[in-house]
Amino acid sequence: MKKNAFNPYLPSWEYIPDGEPYVFDGRVYVYGSHDLYNGHVFCLGDYVCWSAPVDDLGNWRYEGVIYPKTEDPLNKEGKMCLYAPDVTVGPDGRYYLYYVLDHVSVVSVAVCDTPAGKYEFYGYVHHQDGTLLGEREGDEPQFDPGLITEGDVTYLYTGFCGRGDKSRSGAQVCALDKDMLTIIEETKIIVPGSEYSAGTEFEGHAFFEAPSIRKRGDKYYFVYSSEVMHELCYAIGDSPMGKFTYGGVIVSNCDMHIDTYKPANQPMCYGANNHGSIVEINGKWYIFYHRQTKGGWYSRQGCAEEITFDENGAIPQVEITSCGLNGGPLPGVGEYAAYLACNLYTDKPMMYVGDYSCPRIVQEGKDGDEELGYIENFTNSASCGFKYFDCKGVKEFAITTRGYANGVFEVKTAWDGEVLATLRLEYTNVWERYTTKIDIPDGVHAIYLTYRGDGNAALKSFELIV
């Protein structure tokens, strides 16, 4: 029996951002960097891999550590972090893992005979004279490699462009020989960074980081994180080396620009950087991206949403949801964990993480402890939203909560909708379950919970009861 698929799609105690999804032999594999819960910087863990059957996207399997950070000769002491990787299948049929360490500006490569086996260090990308890419005069520092291989040629996309830094021009691409290391077509800029985007079609959505490349039909889709960080944008080209034309925003991890259920300029979650790509799975296309937890930057989790293409190949922006890979809404009955919230906000709109008094997704224990996530910091007006559920005959509603709080949770099916029920809380330092009668009309609905009152509550789960 297939499992329901949620966002985040991996267990709540796993923190794999920067997801690069691929389908190999009937399974979708996701490669990403590896944050730690309570991490003090990005990407502290070794590379691990997860996979799922293409016809059961709620059933993810842990493939284990595929590449430890100490495997790179430059990092034998493990003092550097493994930043966002990508994988491509080389002309020889082997799997090549490309990455950059956090304190050097060259591209490292590892190789494996299987998608999720033990990768072994292979070499560094270099110019034909042997100089490493990133170290020759005129090279820009390397960051966030993305790959596509066609025939004997592999195209490598890299780049990072912070605002105010005129030494970084934009997203770069070069072509590699069949040895997967030697540059045979020199680097060129395909999407400008913010310092060079004025007057171009990319202005306002200039390249920041996270280059990724996919092919659909005869078009190449270059996916990247823009200068505002929370959005993944795309550009379309007729060849791997460009020219690329700006397409639009695919997803924002705070749902900016979306006006289907709220004003377009209203953030509905606390966003920050973003990284991911598109992939076709069983005839449907998805965008993989990540969200922030703990109210900070360094414990990110992978999410995904189904996308569509119009007749011109354009991708309309999609909402962030709690059910992205599920193929439709979740059943409108049963208990759902609070960490599945796709919307977190208060009556003071905020686009970015950083205010630790706001509601935030946390877990008990330390990194690696398999403890279910929950939401803490429900103070007055703090809200969470879950989308979407196919409701039929829902007559009761329950929450499991704790905390020193004196107030009520309001239940709605829209962030600004009618209050359908309230649940009064009592001061408690253990999880307590509260129920109320409710009449949710039959149909597909979101669920929103808003706390009104004094003190500070935490939410473990809610339950739809028929």
Establish whether 209 is a catalytic residue: yes
User: Which band of pLDDT confidence, cut at 50, 70 and 90, is reported for residue 356?
Assistant: confident
| pLDDT for residue 426 | 87
Tell me: pLDDT of 186 over 70.
yes
Task: State yes or no: pLDDT of 67 exceeds 90.
Answer: yes
Please write the tens of the pLDDT for every residue from 393-435.
999 999 999 999 999 999 999 999 999 999 999 899 999 999 9
CB atoms within 10 A of CB 303: 26
CA distance 387 to 385: 7
Structure tokens belonging to residue 371 = 């403890």
User: Taking the domain 331-465, which CATH number applies?
Assistant: 2.60.120.260
Which residues in the chain are classed under CATH 2.60.120.260?
331-465
Which of helix, strand or coil describes residue 208? strand
Q: 20 an active-site residue? A: no
- DSSP 8-state class, residue 368: T
| Tens digit of each residue's pLDDT (9 = 90 or more) over 91-103 | 999 999 999 999 9
Predicted pLDDT of residue 158: 98
Q: How far apart are CA 412 and CA 431, in angstroms?
A: 22
How many whole angstroms separate alpha carbon 47 and alpha carbon 62?
Answer: 12
How is residue 37 written in tokens?
């819960």
In the set 20, 144, 209, 305, the catalytic residue is 209
Contact of 316 with 359, CB cutoff 8 Å? no
Q: Which amino acid is at 393?
A: G
* pLDDT at position 410: 98
Interval 270-289 mean pLDDT: 98
Asked whether residue 21 carries a pLDDT value surpassing 80, the answer given is yes
Q: Are 72 and 107 in contact (CB under 8 A)?
A: no
Average pLDDT, the chain: 97
Task: State both tokens at 363.
Answer: 């877990």
Q: Which helix (H) or strand (E) holds 184?
A: strand 183-192
Q: Could you tell me which residues come within 8 angstroms of residue 210 by beta carbon, excluding any fewer than 6 positions away? A: 18, 84, 144, 223, 224, 225, 232, 273, 274, 275, 276
Residue 284, pLDDT above cutoff 80: yes
Nearest to 271 by CA among 151, 211, 358: 358
**Cα–Cα dist 235/213, whole Å:** 10
Checking if the pLDDT of 1 tops 70, the result is: no
Residues 204-230 pLDDT 10s: 999 999 999 999 999 999 999 999 999
- Look up the pTM and report it: 0.97
Closest-CA residue to 226 (of 254, 198, 192, 199): 192
Which residue among 14, 18, 140, 255 is the active-site one?
A: 18
The pLDDT of residue 72 is 98
Closest CA to 324 of 62, 60, 57: 57
Tell me which of 2.30.30.100, 3.20.10.10, 2.115.10.20, 1.10.1760.20 is the CATH number of domain 20-307: 2.115.10.20
Q: For the chain, give every residue range classified as CATH 2.115.10.20.
A: 20-307
Beta bridge partners of 250: none
Taking only the tens place, the pLDDT of each residue in 223-249 is: 999 999 999 999 999 999 999 999 999
* Alpha carbon distance 18, 212 (integer Å): 10
State how far the Cα of 428 lies from the Cα of 181, in Å rounded to an integer: 60
